[in-house]
Chains A and B, each alone.
Chain A
Amino acid sequence: MFHKILIANRGEIAVRVIRACKQMGIKTVAVYSEADRDLLHVKLADESVCVGSPSAAKSYLNVPNIMSAAQITGADAIHPGYGFLAENQQFAEICDKHQIHFIGPPIEAMGMLGDKARARGLAERLNVPVIPGTDVLADLDEALKKAKQIGYPVMIKAVAGGGGKGMRFVTSPAELEKNLPIARAEAEASFNDGRVYLEKYLIEPRHIEVQILGDRSGNVVAVGERECSLQRQHQKIMEEAPSIAVTPPVRKKDTGTRDQDWQRSSLRWRGNH
């Protein structure tokens, strides 16, 4: 059990983490930017530390100041909430180096799933169904060959992608030739990683996520699905649970089998993802 947790976030997620900590008798430290000193999470936490000027890059993403805030307050764990540092593998490594628990997935799992090409490979090895697609593309010739095998339309996607950046929809070889360098350049600019791959484009698909809870002892449970299809510009607007599109047999298959529990365990998940 942790003694004191620093919450490296703001808004509703910070408030929710503080509430859970209070119920568990764990002390909390809020961090805030100069513009956020009057926010609710600052008032609710046991302690608070100003970590920078108003821009997120200089406060909530300011790793040295956040690490320092954890040290001066004697926090033994950092909860990153979501967004900001939650999927930053380097930050998790820094926490580990300073013997502060990063409440989230283990470093190796973050690396594996942050790289979409590696995540696809892992899913395939564990017999989890994936959309037909490729590994990282070497050049245009390979892209044209693989796209023909998969069948148009296809999506060019960034390996380090997220939020629709470095993503292009193509319906023909000519479009692929035109869009491949654009997607690469966009991915390079957004993620400092220009690697891209192809995936079969699904027309009007559903975006369903399954919540998984795991602990350090290897216990893993799936706690049902979320319907995340309602999106604008590749960002979710609303999540709904349960999904009206998921039938009971599909739900059982997605969340209940022994095999899949083993698959989740193989990622050594810890926390809620």
Chain B
Amino acid sequence: MSSDEEVIMNESKKTLKGFIHELKEFLGILHSYDATELEWEKDGYGIKLSRKATRSHGQAPVSSNGKNRAKVELFHVVSPVVGTFHFLPEMPQVGALLKPGQALGYVRAVNVQHTIDVEKPGKLSEIHAQEGQPVEFGQLLFTIENERVS
């Protein structure tokens, strides 16, 4: 390999590294804002990223713990109907441990009340719903973390 070729190779590697770094940053922004599309343009070149909105079960990054690997699964509790969301008198707190069947609130649709309960045990990681908020079908209400050792 000639010295000129080596320079080109090193430049290419640098460019690729820089691109991967930028790509990671963009992906980070996309996920942190739960956005489905991101478009960026500068000096005549640009990038467009898009992803499908995640409404089903997700997975948090895997943490390593010696031989046992703890896998954190995220469960999204969504509204099964269109209506107005209400908390129960005992409002759940972030970090609370939840049992299957435990009620977190209810959605009032016309004259019917639909209870929002937990399907699997876990820790309440995020509350997305607000008291009295109008919600649509499939709208994200709560996120629950379920840690399991594999």
Contacts and interface: CB of A to CB of B under 8 A. Distances in A.
Given A71-B110, A98-B110, A65 B81 contact: yes
B112 A72 contact: no
Which bracket fits the contact residues of B?
Answer: 10 to 19
A104 interface: no
A179 interface: no
Contacts of A160: none
A65 B82 contact: yes
A8 interface: no
Contact of B139 (A50, A64, A73): A50
Given A34-B137, A34-B138, A49 B110 contact: no
Given A50-B137, A66-B82, 9 more contacts: A34-B138, A51-B136, A64-B112, A65-B81, A65-B109, A67-B109, A68-B81, A68-B110, A72-B82
Interface of A: 34, 49-53, 59, 64-69, 71-73, 98
**A53, A66, A72 interface centre (most CB from chain B within 10 Å):** A72
Interface string B54-82: 00000000000000000000000000011
B69 to A, nearest CB: 34
B125 interface: no
A68 B82 contact: yes
What 8 A-B pairs are tightest by C-beta distance, nearest first? A72-B134, A68-B109, A68-B82, A50-B136, A65-B82, A50-B137, A49-B136, A69-B82
Given A64-B109, A64-B112, A67-B110, A72 B83 contact: yes
Contacts of B138: 34, 50, 53
Contacts of A67: 109-110
B110 A73 contact: no
Contacts of A52: 137
11 contacts: A34-B137, A49-B136, A50-B138, A50-B139, A52-B137, A64-B109, A67-B109, A68-B110, A71-B110, A72-B83, A72-B84
